[in-house]
Amino acid sequence: MFYLELVSSLWKGELVALQWDNVDIQSRTISVSKEYVRNPDGSLELTRTKTENSVRLVSIPQTAAELLIQEHSKHPDSPYPFPYPITGELYHPDSVINLHKKILKDAGLPHIRFHDLRHTFVTTALQNGVDMKTVSSMLGHYVAGFTLRTYIHATWQKQDEATQTTGSFMAQVI
């Protein structure tokens, strides 16, 4: 579940709302259209994603597809890729956060927020040459400008590389 988060950048509500019907192993895609949201009274509700842009098809790497196949073999009758072990139902989004905290603590790792896994995906993608528009669409953002403003820190490395490349080229020309 956490690996899928790192390679797909889903919101926690989208991740726990996934069903096998949303996963296409052959094409290595996840169809995102639902999420669990907390109502003002504290109850959870399965709803459509918050914006139309949030309804999207997200590609996943082969390793994630293989891990999903392994996960399915553990509970083949469940409609959920990640059923809560005790009930077999969906994880509560807060349970995912608590599980994440426990895993980090048990491994002796420093605390990072679950949402930071989404930020890690974005930063890694941008620093490794994935274009802003592609990253923006994977996140479900309406415009790439929002993604750029939110993740400006991740583009500084690329700007420095571009400056070095341009500088080297100009030095050869002059």
For residues 140 and 148, the model is more confident at 140
Please, which pLDDT band fits residue 20 given cuts at 50, 70 and 90? Answer: very high
What residues are paired with 23 via a beta bridge? 30
- The pTM score is 0.75
Per-domain residue ranges of the chain: 1-111, 115-174
User: Contact 144/116 with Cβ under 8 angstroms?
Assistant: no
What mean pLDDT do residues 95-111 have?
A: 93
Burial of 110 (0-12, 13-18, 19+ CB in 10 A): exposed
Per-residue pLDDT tens over the stretch 39-74: 888 888 887 887 676 788 888 999 999 999 999 999
